[in-house]
C-alpha cells in the first residue's frame, strides 16, 4: 500500500465517521448536551478528513495549465 492509498482510505473513514456523528446528533436531539457533543464530533471528523487528503502533486512550470482537481461524487 502506498501513502496516497492510505490517506484516501483514512479520508473515506473520517467522512463515514462524520456522517455517523451527524446521524447520532439527530438521534439524540431530545438530549441537547448529547446532540451538541455529536455535532461537535461531526465537525472535528470533517476537519481531520481535510488534513488527510493528499496534497496536490508538484506542478512543473510548463504544466500549470494542465493540472485539474476533481471532486468525489460517490458520497451523498
Q: What is the pLDDT of residues 24-68, one digit of tens each?
A: 999 999 999 999 999 999 999 988 877 766 555 544 555 444 444
pLDDT-based confidence at residue 4 (cuts at 50, 70, 90): confident
Distance (Å, rounded) from C-alpha 51 to C-alpha 69?
Answer: 16
Q: Which of 4-8, 24-28, 44-48, 69-73 has the highest mean pLDDT?
A: 24-28
Identify the pLDDT of residue 10. Answer: 87
Query: Residue 35 corresponds to which cell in the numbers above?
Result: 446532540
pTM: 0.63
DSSP secondary structure string for all residues of 29-65:
TTSHHHHHHHHHHHHHHHHHHHHHSPPPPP--GGGGG
| Neighbouring C-beta atoms of residue 19, cutoff 10 Å | 15
CA angle at residue 74 from 68 to 76, to 5 degrees?
120
Amino acid at each position: 500500500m502506498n501513502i496516497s492509498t492510505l490517506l484516501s482510505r483514512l479520508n473515506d473513514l473520517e467522512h463515514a465517521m462524520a456522517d455517523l456523528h451527524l446521524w447520532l446528533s439527530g438521534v439524540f436531539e431530545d438530549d441537547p448536551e448529547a446532540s451538541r457533543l455529536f455535532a461537535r464530533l461531526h465537525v472535528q471528523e470533517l476537519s481531520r478528513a481535510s488534513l488527510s487528503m493528499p496534497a496536490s502533486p508538484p506542478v512543473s512550470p510548463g504544466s500549470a495549465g494542465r493540472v485539474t482537481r476533481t471532486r468525489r461524487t460517490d458520497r451523498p
